Amino acid sequence: MSIRSIRPGPLTRLLNMHTFQQTRPFTLPSLSQPTPRVLTASRILPFAPLPLFRTISAIDSYSKFLPFLAESTVTARDPITNYPTRAFLTVGYGPLSETFLSKVECDVEKWTVGARSGETAFKNEVRDDGGNGLFEYLDTLWRLEPLEKALAGKGVERTKVELEVRFRFRSALHATMMGAMEGQVAGMMIEAFEKRIREVEGR
């Protein structure tokens, strides 16, 4: 399993520069525009892709086992597949929390489940948070890759599970307060799903 976090460079590096040698005015970066973050994690699990896909797409059960998720309510489903297409998700850490309306895309042929919230999902719609939400956007994408039984060994079906979380904090204050747990989020989510699938499948 690998976890990667992309963060803005430390402000202290700028403060330690020899400013008297600069030929252009010295300015500090804006603390009101945190840079986008990308977190990733992956794991190989001893399950076929379909039960994993069903567990990941069961968004209404997320709040029962996922860290940092207080509520999860599906509000719309595809009339043919019955997979969710819209959901309310309340995410947070400590005293900070925010409820998002998320666009959900479940593609069983590609083995992907994605949820987009905030400006990336509703660019032309007015936000009702008064500009005080935790995130500008919060997107997650799950990918499943079935592994050949010959490679998996002993004929047991195995699947590579990949998770990508993309987000941007609305303010530097939120980035600082949430930063302590940021790098662990993706890995904790995959571990929570692994525990959940084992409970569902009785293993």
**Structural domain containing residue 173:** 39-201
pLDDT given for residue 26 in this prediction: 43
pLDDT given for residue 118 in this prediction: 82
pLDDT given for residue 148 in this prediction: 76
**Has residue 20 been placed in a domain?**
no
Q: Which CATH number belongs to the domain containing residue 113 in this structure?
A: 3.30.530.20
Q: What string of pLDDT tens digits covers the 203 residues of the chain?
A: 444 444 444 444 433 444 434 444 444 444 557 788 898 999 999 999 999 999 999 999 999 999 888 899 999 999 999 999 999 999 877 777 788 899 999 999 999 999 998 876 766 554 444 445 678 888 999 999 999 765 545 667 899 999 999 988 877 776 666 666 666 778 889 899 999 999 988 76
pLDDT given for residue 147 in this prediction: 93
**Has residue 136 been placed in a domain?**
yes
Domain count, the chain: 1
**Has residue 30 been placed in a domain?**
no
DSSP 63: G
pLDDT given for residue 12 in this prediction: 43
Contacts of 147 (CB under 8 A, 6+ apart): 44, 157, 158, 159, 160
pLDDT given for residue 98 in this prediction: 83
**Has residue 10 been placed in a domain?**
no
pTM (whole model) above 0.95: no
**Has residue 9 been placed in a domain?**
no
Strand ranges (DSSP E) for 9-149?
Answer: 37-45, 69-77, 84-93, 96-107, 112-118, 135-147
**Has residue 81 been placed in a domain?**
yes
pLDDT given for residue 68 in this prediction: 84
- Cβ(170)–Cβ(136) under 8 Å? yes
pLDDT given for residue 170 in this prediction: 79
**Has residue 166 been placed in a domain?**
yes
DSSP 132: -
**Has residue 47 been placed in a domain?**
yes
